[in-house]
Amino acid sequence: MVAIVDIAGQQFKVEKGQKLFVHRLEGSTGDKVEFSNVLLIENEGQTAVGTPTVEGAVVTATILEHLKGDKVLVFKKKRRKGYQKLNGHRQYLSKIEINDITN
């Protein structure tokens, strides 16, 4: 069973047992989380497409840990003007494991 679900403003293709990184979620490590914004479910060749979401479909997951992503450097420069600006950013992420997809 495969589903496309909207998690924290991003769409992910998920299946049971999959681990993925999403934007930081509310809750602590070990908490169960439910996502009801399921856009599509595919089960053994039968596809249910939502308008905009599939009614009654829920994806449940467990928060494994909270962490920060790799550093991304943003460098700006203007030629011949002596202007240089270096900025760094690390995104706050949550690692989750998909437990179940119900329709």
pLDDT of res. 103: 85
pLDDT of res. 88: 98
pLDDT of res. 68: 97
Ranges of residues in the chain with a pLDDT under 70 are: none
pLDDT of res. 37: 94
In sequence order, the 6+-apart residues with CB closer than 8 A to the CB of 29 are 63, 64, 65, 66
- pTM of the predicted model, to two decimals? 0.83
Q: Residue by residue, what is the 3-state secondary structure of 17-40?
A: CCEEEEECCCCCCCCEEEECCEEE
Q: Domain residues of the chain, as ranges?
A: 2-102
